[in-house]
Chains A and B, each alone.
Chain A
């Protein structure tokens, strides 16, 4: 069957998908493919020279290392706080449920510039976190947090935390609450129940949440600008600055393609992983 007959055999309603698909193809897919192919075009013909130049520079590897390390740390912090929070949310009722949901959704709808700016205040030397650390007696003097990697990870984990909690909460909502109970009646200990029932059932949510948080934290731009400054570069900040300040579009395009490649790899591996862990059910 050729394409024309196949198209004709579709119900007419299928044509309604055309405008959105055409729009995204023209203003999203084609430009991305364009960026990708152009990054392999030299002045005289196809070339991988920009990539060789970039990847033979130890600075690039440091930048890639920064990007992946910060992404992994932010994801880890978000998971450690987010998983128990999602469990508590799924069990909460009444006023507690509303408090939890509000504290997740409200920050989600407040802009990243607002939140990054707030973290500048919170992390400042005599800011809230410093004061708390001194009050607990752990530190004699407020530690430097602003313009450090710890401060960046803390601020970013805060901004992206809802994206970890919500997917896990969604799968917990789909889970039959009688399953852990059934395991309990069959004599499973709480720990065994958690490892054998709850954890596998929430894995698709964990994978989705981790993929969201990781892909957002490797591509953040505003948060590092305000919380750590110019000395610390990630692929995203290097890309942005190459275009906006250094006017070096060659380097910017190449790092943008690297960032794109990493993001696509995350999306693809997360979706195949989600399919595999989802299939365990």
Chain B
């Protein structure tokens, strides 16, 4: 290696190291702030304490928001998994003309501004007299979660060799049995990771959900942002630490199921 090459390689690794630090900093800072005793953030905190965690229970509105978010995320993920998988099978087995365009359409909600989708749906629902916040949230969240499922399951299915199912059937499996013994094990990891990302995307969504929340129905990010704007104390850091823990658990599960390398396939 020439000196110049070594310099460039060194620079690449230095920037990569910086990128790692840059990406994990917000998470570390949040966790550190949640265990500090001061109400104004100082790093490192003068004293460690759990007082912000103790205050979580007394925060009004937090628990209902968490419940709403989990309900909406679970249901919209389940609906997306059903719709997305059916669609993926239809696309790979049905020789549908223009399937490339259909896939782009299915994934496009990921690329368009959430705010615009939210406003469009708000006006649309109003026009048809749908005023129920919870139902509106669910209908809107399926639009957000479906692309995650569609992208991953279509990808996994297009790599699946369907003659394996025929092979299993010649060996005496029933059709349902062949699907259960051959297709499900192959697609399982894709279901799990795409479902996980869909769930987290729904839990995290703010720009679409904000248009459908009312005084009684709020999702967690909306309630959290409201707290931050009213009273930015480390109680928010304590909630955030809980969410970081959830994401870490999801990642460990995902790694066990498909391996972290496949989760990075984009």
B contact residues, total (Cβ < 8 Å): 91
Contact between A263 and B19, CB atoms less than 8 A apart: no
- List the B side residues contacting A109 at CB < 8 Å: 196-197, 200, 247, 250-251
- A170 CB–B CB distance under 8 Å: yes
Interface residue stretch chosen among A43-51, A58-66, A135-143, A218-226: A218-226
The smallest C-beta distance from A214 to any residue of chain B, in angstroms, reads: 10
Interface residue stretch chosen among B48-56, B104-112, B172-180: B104-112
Q: What separation, in Å, do the CA atoms of A158 and B19 have in the docked complex? A: 9
Residues 101-140 of chain A, each 1 if its beta carbon lies under 8 Å from chain B, else 0: 1111111011111110111111010111001000000000
Which B residue sits closest to A85, measured CB to CB?
A: B19
Q: CB within 8 A of A112: which of B8, B87, B206?
A: B206
Residues 20-51 of chain A, each 1 if its beta carbon lies under 8 Å from chain B, else 0: 11011001111110110010000000000000
Contact between A14 and B15, CB atoms less than 8 A apart: no
Q: What separation, in Å, do the CA atoms of A128 and B27 have in the docked complex? A: 13
Contact between B33 and A121, CB atoms less than 8 A apart: yes
- Tell whether A162 pairs with B120 under 8 Å between CB atoms, given A19-B86, A271-B104: no
For the complex, would chain B's binding face be called helix, strand, loop or mixed by DSSP majority? helix
- List the A side residues contacting B67 at CB < 8 Å: none
The smallest C-beta distance from B205 to any residue of chain A, in angstroms, reads: 9
Residues 92-105 of chain B, each 1 if its beta carbon lies under 8 Å from chain A, else 0: 01111000001011
Residue among B127, B196, B204 with the highest chain A CB neighbour number at 10 A:
B204
Contact between A105 and B251, CB atoms less than 8 A apart: yes
Residue among A31, A97, A170, A264 with the highest chain B CB neighbour number at 10 A:
A31
- B191 CB–A CB distance under 8 Å: no
Contact between A190 and B243, CB atoms less than 8 A apart: no
- Tell whether A190 pairs with B4 under 8 Å between CB atoms, given A219-B115, A260-B112: yes
For the complex, would chain A's binding face be called helix, strand, loop or mixed by DSSP majority? helix
Q: CB within 8 A of B24: which of A10, A82, A107, A128?
A: A107
- A87 CB–B CB distance under 8 Å: yes
Contact between B120 and A117, CB atoms less than 8 A apart: no
- A240 CB–B CB distance under 8 Å: yes
Contact between B115 and A259, CB atoms less than 8 A apart: yes
- List the A side residues contacting B211 at CB < 8 Å: 243-244
Contact between B146 and A24, CB atoms less than 8 A apart: yes
Which A residue sits closest to B24, measured CB to CB?
A: A103
| Extra A-B contacts (6), CB below 8 Å, given A21-B105, A106-B248, A166-B266 | A14-B94, A20-B83, A20-B150, A87-B12, A170-B266, A252-B119
Name 14 interchain pairs, CB-CB below 8 A, sorted by A.
A20-B150, A34-B123, A101-B264, A111-B221, A117-B30, A117-B237, A121-B33, A126-B42, A127-B41, A161-B23, A170-B264, A190-B4, A239-B116, A263-B111
A-B interface, 8 closest residue pairs, ranked by CB to CB distance from nearest? A14-B94, A219-B113, A16-B90, A88-B16, A118-B26, A17-B90, A20-B87, A111-B204
Binding site for A on B (CB under 8 A): 2, 4-5, 8, 11-13, 15-16, 18-20, 22-27, 29-30, 33, 41-43, 83-84, 86-87, 89-91, 93-96, 102, 104-106, 108-109, 111-117, 119-124, 127, 139-140, 142-143, 146, 150, 196-197, 200, 203-204, 206-207, 210-211, 221, 224-225, 228-229, 232, 236-237, 240, 243-244, 247-248, 250-251, 260-261, 263-266
